[in-house]
Amino acid sequence: MKNNISTLSYFVKRLKDNEYVVWKVFNKFGDHDPRKWTVMVNPGEESVYITCYINTDEIGSIPVFEIHDGTSVFRNYAKIQTRSMEVIIKTLLKRGIQQDSKAFRLPEEGINNYEDDNRRQSITGKEKTSQS
């Protein structure tokens, strides 16, 4: 369903439209698990996890969003039951989770960007150069 806050693509798009960096973490929970998906907002510094819970027993139920960051900003878990994306964004802003976090953006070529060091480590720990 489009334009539904519990739809992963819509949720991510709205956060990105508000200039947050968002990584999709997981969306293949079991059939009897109330969790629908998990994303990470501003990975690197704040690294806030947001998990969407859906009560599948109720048609038209309001989703619950659990926000957690390892208790540095959100003491324990914050749980918000809402159909409004603005409520989620206002909660993030109120807790100091900033927009336009360029420090968290990935370089074009991928996660590991070694601009200052052309050496790479393989899985076995052997050093590779950028020519290999």
**CA-angle at 86, arms to 47 and 62, nearest 5°:** 90
Q: Please indicate, yes or no, if residue 79 is contained in any of the structural domains.
A: yes
The per-residue pLDDT for 97 is 87
Model pLDDT for residues 52-61, shown as the tens digit of each residue: 999 756 667 8
Position 1 in a domain: no
Whether residue 122 lies inside any domain: the answer is no
Does 117 map to a domain?
no
The answer as to whether 102 is a domain residue is: yes
**Would residue 123 count as lying in a domain?**
no
For 3-56, what is each residue's pLDDT tens digit? 899 999 999 999 999 999 999 999 999 988 999 999 999 888 788 999 999 975
Please give, one letter per residue, the 3-state secondary structure of the chain: CCCCCCCHHHHHHHHHHCCCCEEEEECCCCCCCCEEEEEEECCCCCCEEEEEECCCCCCCCCCEEEEECCCCCCCCCEEEECCCHHHHHHHHHHCCCCCCCHHHCCCCCCCCCCCCCCCEECCCCCEECCCC
35: Cβ contacts below 8 Å, ≥ 6 apart: 29, 51, 52, 53
Domain, as residue range, for 43: 8-110
pLDDT-derived band at 106 (thresholds 50, 70, 90) equals low
- How many domains are there within the chain? 1
**Considering only 45-49, 61-65, 125-129, which range has the smallest mean pLDDT?**
125-129
pLDDT of residue 46: 83
On whether residue 35 sits in a domain, the answer given is yes
**In the predicted model, is pLDDT for residue 116 greater than 50?**
no
Is residue 53 one of the residues assigned to a domain? yes
Kindly tell me if the per-residue pLDDT of 119 is higher than 70.
no
